[in-house]
Amino acid sequence: WPPSKPAWTIQTGAGGSGVIVTGDRLYTMGWKDDQDHILCIDTASGTTIWKQSYSCPPYGRESEGDKGIYSGPSSCPSYDQQTGYLYTLSTDGDLCCWDTKAEGRTVWKVNFYDAYQVPKRPKVGRRQLRDYGYTTAPLVHGDVVIVEVGDDEGNLMGFSKKTGTRLWVSQSKDPAGHTGGLVPIIVEGVPCVAVLTIRNLLVARLDSGQEGKTVAEFPWVTDFANNVATPAVLKNSIIISSEYNQYATTRIDVTLSGMKQVWKQPYASGVCPPVIYNGHVYWCWRGVYCLNFETGSPVWRGGVFGDTASCIVTSDGRLVIWGRRGDLVLAETADRSPQKYTELSRQKDLMENDAWPHIVLSGGQLYCKDRDGNMKCFRLKP
């Protein structure tokens, strides 16, 4: 560190969709020329192995507001190791299953607006209506792919991962939120899923015969429906964070009997999902924050960043932060620097636009993307 010039660069199309890596293949999404594009890329060379496309508007058909700062797909693809199927969700509600072993052949697809007539999100909070279309990544769980649909039939729906047949709907009928993902959680031995809907932190069961049944809800409404940061889970604890009228981060503990708020602190993440590591909670929102996981008390804060950022923790206890318009930063965790934020390295302005998509580290390579779809791969080892 710092990484030298990129090992390769590629243009994937506009959008906030992140990347996923499995083995020597990278998958991501982007929008260009009135189409969504699904790409399979060789991680060694950056060569596109296959690409699939379908017609899609740049915004969901019920979208409302802030079109100057987003367009194209926002959700991240999900991969199933057992079948080799890839699942993607467009901002216009196209849930698609692709066979990665057959050059991305379409296995099945469903559009939520067409199939369920999903209404526009309601106005929540104290400010104008916002609807950013579908943003939440699908979650593969056993033989089911689970998606936050936000319909009046159910907030969550479970589909057969092989055929696309709908298998169940959730007890909760909340409209969909705007976070990045559904988060698995085990509650007293029962497999569950946590999600920030437009109104609540929802935990629902996934065990056989109880799929979609609500375990508990914790009210969490944000102005503009901007509950963007994905919840973070450790055992039966959930960390959620939002700016705007909430401007808070809180820890919620879950049992099959309900939820309990353990602590709440007046520090917020607008976009970056919190990361729980060795008794601390980290995120980047204008600066890097570190809180004590048990008590919520602040440990330190530092650095200068913009509104867009994501961070990960490496296995040797360092933070890698991707923010602003392509600032790539290496910093110490509280394990190595318990008294203050310590920045080891910063490379600035590596991109032309905001660093919306989440940074990914896999196989000693960093994948950095901006919302225009410019992606750079940095090799961190010989």
Is residue 2 reached through a cis peptide bond, with omega within 30 degrees of 0 on the bond before it?
yes
Spatial separation of the C-alpha atoms in residues 238 and 203, rounded to whole Å: 10
In terms of Cα–Cα distance, which of 246, 132, 118 is closest to 180?
132
Q: Hey, CA dihedral for 43, 46, 51, 56, is it positive or negative?
A: positive
Question: For residue 341, which amino acid is it?
Answer: Y
Q: Cα separations (Å) of 132 from 110, 135, 210, 245, 272?
A: 19, 7, 31, 19, 17
C-beta of residue 305 within 8 angstroms of C-beta of residue 315: no
Residue 238 in tokens:
């959930």
Do 278 and 317 contact (CB within 8 A), yes or no? yes
Alpha helices in 145-220 (DSSP H): none
For 135-178, how does the pLDDT look when each residue is reduced to its tens digit (9 = 90+)? 999 999 999 999 999 999 999 999 999 999 999 999 999 999 99
- pLDDT range class, residue 4, cuts 50, 70, 90: confident
Task: Tell me how far the alpha carbon of residue 50 is from its chain's centroid.
Answer: 24
Residues 6+ apart with CB under 8 A from 209: none
Give CA torsion, residues 103, 108, 113, 114, to 10 deg: 120
pLDDT tens for 246-301 read 999 999 999 999 999 999 999 999 999 999 999 999 999 999 999 999 999 999 99
- In terms of Cβ atoms closer than 10 Å to its own Cβ (0-12, 13-18, 19+), residue 83 is middle
Q: Percent of the chain having pLDDT more than 90?
A: 96
Residue 306, pLDDT score:
87
Q: How confident is the model at residue 2 (pLDDT cuts 50, 70, 90)?
A: confident
Mean residue pLDDT across the chain: 96
Q: Which are the contacts of 102, defined by CB distance < 8 A and separation ≥ 6? A: none
For 152-303, where are the E strands, in sequence order? 154-160, 166-169, 183-187, 190-196, 200-205, 214-219, 232-234, 237-242, 248-255, 258-265, 275-277, 280-285, 287-292, 298-302
Q: Are 319 and 312 in contact (CB under 8 A)?
A: yes
Q: pTM of the predicted model, to two decimals?
A: 0.97
d(CA 139, CA 302): 34
Q: Which of 105, 194, 199, 128 is nearest to 156 (CA)?
A: 194
pLDDT above 80 for 382: no
Predicted pLDDT at 265: 98
Q: Give the integer Cα–Cα distance in Å for 379 and 3.
A: 7
Quick: pLDDT tens for 140-149: 999 999 999 9
